[in-house]
Structure 1
Amino acid sequence: MSASAGEVARPTLRVRGLLGRAEPILITGGRAVADYREAFVGIDVAKQRNAVAIAEAGREGEVRFIGEVDASDTSMHRVIQRIAAKFDRIHLCYEAGPTGYGLYRLIRSLGHECTVVAPSLIPRKPGDRVKTNRRDALSLARLLRAGELTAVWVPDEDHEAMRDLVRARAAAVETLRVHRQQVGAFMLKHGRAYPRTKNWTMRYLRWLQEQRFDYPAHQIALQEMVEAVRISKERVERLERVIEDFIPNWSLAPIVRALQTLRGVDLIVAVTFATEVGDVSRFDSPRQLMGYLGLVPGERSTGETIRRGGITKAGNGRVRHMLVESAWTYRHPPRIGKAKLYRLEQAPPKVREIAWKAQARLTTRYRKLVGRGKRTTVVCTAIARELIVGFMWAVAREARST
């Protein structure tokens, strides 16, 4: 940058910038102008239009709202390039949501840094009762500049496709549960009680077909509900077969196979863990993974007073639910069944050692906690938190390294 007429150019100095590196400053006529310029861009994404705001580097850097632009890739590409032309480096961010990671991949393809923000961890002022697209974009830009945003893990496209398939299966299971519940509620309303304890067996379905009602409308309603259950069940089974077919060609197939050596972990639990958690190497310890899954106890302490409550239930609920369900299998004495024997024979020696150590320790832990009078629900949560997550973390890391 050259000095204008009438100004005396003085030597270029180097000062320590906000990011901890030396930045060149040219002093001309008593005014300092930074050669290196950096900006932080907050994007409030929506279905049709995205709100864009920008915060320039520095405590006193200007924060301004650029406007709302079309959410298409072409429009966002044009806006990002226009912003990048005015700065040496830009950082962009937006909240994770139903729009997915398409914008993230577009920004990364342009060579810029992008952060997909966890919405539940965004700092918010308790007294702020106004929420608009403009204010959200400005807030994201400010918080990104301050380093107060928490990023979510963004999977690659192949991993995301597998995760969508697993989540589709989970949605089908939920639909099946709702349809079965409707049948049970219908029978209860009409005073029809199944004489046995276990429902939805072939005997239970035969009992439903034998039911007769005085009004044909009731008979048709029951038949339609039972048919909905049958269709939902076939959908679940079909998706499970597709998942099993896709596993051998997936990059995390070794981890899925290794996880199945653990007691209580079948194909669906293993593939759900792999798709939702991803690369376990991003967690330095099992404790970090426990916190990610919301299996650590909450705490509200002040001074010398320590108050701990139930688990936080933050993070990924799909994996947490399946792990707690898997923990129920450890109420039985340690043993290796036929299915697990086959899995263990296919696994490396180190994985087999971890799997047996987990079974012996988990069953002992379960009996001790029950013997101390703990409720079984609390015991299963403790098993899932303290041991299952730790052993699954160890097995996944071992499978990743082999």
Structure 2
Amino acid sequence: MSITQNTKIRRITESTLVIGADISKKVHVARACDVRGIELGSPLTFKNERRGFRGLKKWVRTLMLKHSCDNVVFGVEPTGHYWINLAQFLRREGIRVVVVNPFHVKKTKELEDNSPTKNDRKDARVISLLVKDGRYSEPNIPEDIYADLRVGMNERDRLSVDLKRVQARIHNWLERYFPEFTEVFKDWEGKAALVCLHKFPCPADVEQMTALDIVCEWRQGGISRGVGLSKANFLKEMAEQSIGLTEGLKMAHRELEILLGQYDLYQKQLDQLLSEVEQLLSEIPGAQNMLSVPGVGLVTVAGFLAEVGELTRYDNPRQIQKLAGLNLKENSSGEHKGQTTITKRGRPRLRSLLFRCVIPLLAKNTEFRLQHEYYTQRTENPLKKMQSAIALSCRLIRVLFALGRKEVSYDPVKMLGPVHLERTQNVA
């Protein structure tokens, strides 16, 4: 992957056919130009189907033959997910696909005709001109095992959201019908608590049972320790004092049954999915080395590789840093020096994953904790805690990149770097 504007511009030569396409749900519009921006041929409107793709291919080959072009750069504005199928078709036909930033299209469309008018034909023309000027980026479309990994991790995130939603609804149910339940069980997701919710969830159900009956239900549920007669008596006491709703209990039981069924299903699906993800990771070179970092687990490594793809595609970890939107931006003019912040232009899921991983690392990983202390307490340019966490997110990228590319295990000394040298010198 290129990280320089000049390299992108050099790829557009005199023999390059530049095509820009405006993508929609059903009908796309494509327009072509040469390296100077001169439009070639007439615009093409084609449907988002196999026949339309074949018509596009024929149109492209005709233009290449007519204008003596030996290569094509096909630029698209990544509109939702509708462009991915077209990109796959073009890549299989040997046509290079690049993407332009929708924000750039919006800002530069008035340069075409000095008008704020927006339509598909105009957007396709603007996209082709942006590509011609090197204002594009290479799409990060995973392939093979990395494609499976991304789909799996995306589904894992969706299941996690669904599970949290069901958990919140169950908690809401408890607050309505048995608010004292959480005084007996601090965690309603514990084994004993789930047995109660499945067998006798309402205070009226508990009152009809003896303490011994409750203990027997726990034992039948495979819980042999941690709960006994004292816990059962406490549950009955709370049930007798409960202020929970007593009307509509028939449908309340049905509501909880549905919610618990969804809860069990999502838990089972998540376990199965993570097991398959773990199998995929075992087939990726360097993944096990990345797991050697204390505090970095399966979800972090799988999520990182799902978003980044094959590490050999990158020449430098700064490219991944930019992909995550963690590169810095500065607003300065003349004598005014603005605040430096991160751009947040990139893959938000990758950025969030790295940050959520770093926060626990500050407590669990000795090297990251020492690095955090160094950043926040150094004499020159000390960082705030949030700034340090962002800096360590970038450091985590470099660590994972090095371990995955070189296939070596985690080395605490190399992780500390200058911090380790400074502390060693102080001890000496």
The partner residue of 2:65 within 70, 85, 101 is 85
Shift of 1:53: 1.1
CA distance in 1, matches of 2:254, 2:342: 45
CA contact (8 A) 1:123 1:148 kept: no
Change (3 A) 1:300 1:201: farther
State how 1:87-236 maps to structure 2 within 5 Å. Answer: 87-89=67-69, 90-96=72-78, 97-99=80-82, 101-119=84-102, 122=105, 124-125=107-108, 130-188=117-175, 192=179, 194-195=182-183, 198=187, 200-206=189-195, 208-209=197-198, 210-212=200-202, 213-214=245-246, 215=248, 216-236=250-270
SS in 1 for 2:345: coil
Shift of 1:118: 4.6
Q: Is structure 2 residue 363 aligned with structure 1 residue 390?
A: no
Change (3 A) 1:307 1:218: farther
CA distance in 1, matches of 2:329, 2:255: 46
State how 1:3-402 maps to structure 2 within 5 Å. Answer: 38-58=16-36, 61-62=38-39, 66-71=43-48, 72=50, 73-89=53-69, 90-96=72-78, 97-99=80-82, 101-119=84-102, 122=105, 124-125=107-108, 130-188=117-175, 192=179, 194-195=182-183, 198=187, 200-206=189-195, 208-209=197-198, 210-212=200-202, 213-214=245-246, 215=248, 216-248=250-282, 250=283, 253-308=284-339, 310-332=341-363, 359-367=365-373, 380-385=389-394, 387-399=395-407
CA contact (8 A) 1:38 1:87 kept: no
1:299-338 deviation digits (Å, cap 9, x = unpaired): 32222322226543321222222222222333436xxxxx
CA contact (8 A) 1:40 1:145 kept: yes
CA distance in 1, matches of 2:374, 2:96: 50
SS in 2 for 1:254: coil
SS in 2 for 1:226: helix
Change (3 A) 1:120 1:262: farther
Change (3 A) 1:400 1:108: farther
SS in 2 for 1:306: strand
1:222-276 deviation digits (Å, cap 9, x = unpaired): 222222111111111111112223334x4xx222111100122212211221221
CA RMSD in angstroms, aligned pairs only: 3.5
Change (3 A) 1:374 1:20: closer
**Structure holding more helix per residue:** 2
Change (3 A) 1:159 1:87: farther
Match of 2:228 in 1: none
CA contact (8 A) 1:64 1:138 kept: no
Q: How many residues are paired up?
A: 340
Unaligned 5+ residue runs, structure 2?
A: 1-8, 203-244, 410-428
Q: In percent, how many aligned pairs have the same letter?
A: 18
CA contact (8 A) 2:290 2:404 kept: yes
What letter matches 1:92 in structure 2? F
CA distance in 2, matches of 1:39, 1:80: 9
Change (3 A) 1:368 1:223: farther
CA distance in 2, matches of 1:384, 1:366: 11
CA distance in 2, matches of 1:364, 1:151: 37
CA distance in 2, matches of 1:369, 1:198: 38
CA distance in 1, matches of 2:401, 2:117: 42
CA contact (8 A) 2:31 2:39 kept: no
CA distance in 1, matches of 2:103, 2:273: 31
Shift of 1:199: 5.2
SS in 2 for 1:68: strand
What letter matches 2:17 in structure 1? A
CA contact (8 A) 2:33 2:128 kept: yes
CA contact (8 A) 1:38 1:56 kept: yes
CA contact (8 A) 1:180 1:229 kept: yes
CA contact (8 A) 2:44 2:56 kept: no
What letter matches 1:114 in structure 2? V
CA distance in 2, matches of 1:374, 1:142: 42
Change (3 A) 1:303 1:192: farther
CA contact (8 A) 2:108 2:126 kept: no
Higher mean displacement: 294-303 or 160-169: 294-303
What letter matches 1:277 in structure 2? V
SS in 2 for 1:246: helix
The two structures have a TM-score, normalised by structure 1, of 0.72
What letter matches 1:45 in structure 2? I
CA contact (8 A) 1:121 1:150 kept: no
Match of 1:28 in 2: none
The two structures have a TM-score, normalised by structure 2, of 0.68
CA distance in 1, matches of 2:388, 2:10: 48
